[in-house]
Amino acid sequence: MKTIRSIFLAALLLISAGCSAPQSGEEESRLNVVASTYPVYLFASALCGGVEGVTVERLNTGETSCLHDYTLSVDDMRMLEKADVVVLNGAGLEDFLTDALATSSAQVIDCSEGVDLLENLAHDHEEGDEEDHDHGHYDPHYWMDPRNTALMVSGILNGLCEADPDYAEAYQANAEQATVLLNTWHPELQSMLRDSGVEISGLITFHDGFQYFARAFDFPLLAAIEEEAGSEASAKEITEITELVKEYELPIIFTEVNGSDATAQAISRETGCAVAQLTMLMDGPDAELSNYYDGLKNNIMAVVNGFAGREVIQ
């Protein structure tokens, strides 16, 4: 398995070389692709790698745990103004782009088309808070289940071939390589989890976007609380979570990398459980597709080590 993965990673390192923005003095790009989020950026970059004259950029959304209140930056607007193709996560995640796309001539690719979306988890926020944090009917964090990535790649491929038909064969070849690699990662991560021998009695997360991750790896999701600035967990939620930690004797609960940990730390003091972070893969250092695998792997190891009573390396 490691040999197969190494071969495909080496191939993707080669095809990703053509995705960077032109340097000063270089010829302007023939096709400008803008991705709304980091996961979408990774997949779009893999498909555009090595294709002549194509630039892939992403909006500055990486430091935000919840995008529903995101405001476009000046750099974001500049990218969108010159975009020929805009690749969206979809499923209601990018409401902040509605006005900008309404005046844009760019082709829009929605990666959520065809994905089996889960309904949003219900929350019991304090009275008056629910309307302000209505995140739609469907949970848009479907990229956290690696089995959905082949559909995302297929959607991006179809859109790129339509926007740039003269280079369809190059996009197709890149998509085939990426899809084969992506399809190895779910069973590889499942095998890693199974070989650990650690029993996971249930997850409690302080972000409501981990249900796809939990489903992908058969983790019982006991509670998932969306805690943002100005939307802290209610007294009822804190009591319920504290009781769940005690009932299931949970050794650890999880926050999201960019999220608040105030309530989790309070519950930790009350119950003695540890607190560690899981990533939603909203940011990363570069366009290497392997960063997607590494993010999921780090999540798996955080869960396994936490339930095994070992230190969780963040």
Q: Are strands 221-224 and 203-206 parallel, antiparallel or unpaired?
A: parallel
Least trusted range by pLDDT, from 39-43, 56-60, 133-137, 235-239 = 133-137
Least trusted range by pLDDT, from 26-40, 93-107, 292-306 = 26-40
> Is residue 121 very low, low, confident or very high in pLDDT (cuts 50, 70, 90)?
confident
At 314 the pLDDT is 73
What domains lie within the chain, and their CATH numbers? 2-183 (3.40.50.1980), 186-307 (3.40.50.1980)
Residue 273 · residue 253 · CB < 8 Å: yes
At 136 the pLDDT is 72
Q: Evaluate if residue 16 carries a pLDDT over 60.
A: no
The span from the first CA to the last CA of the chain, in angstroms, equals 26
Mean pLDDT across the chain, nearest whole number? 88
At 231 the pLDDT is 64
What's the pTM value of the predicted model, to 2 decimals?
0.87
At 117 the pLDDT is 97
At 228 the pLDDT is 62
Which residues, other chains included, contact 118 with Cβ-Cβ below 8 Å and sequence gap of 6+? 138, 139, 142, 211, 212, 215
Residue 80 · residue 192 · CB < 8 Å: no
Residue 110: what are its φ and ψ, rounded to 5°? -100, 110
> Is residue 129 very low, low, confident or very high in pLDDT (cuts 50, 70, 90)?
very low
Q: What is the pLDDT of residues 143-183, one digit of tens each?
A: 999 999 999 999 999 999 999 999 999 999 999 999 999 99
Q: What is the pLDDT of residues 246-260, one digit of tens each?
A: 999 999 999 999 888
Q: What is the pLDDT of residues 28-83, one digit of tens each?
A: 899 999 999 999 999 999 999 999 999 999 999 988 777 877 999 999 999 999 99
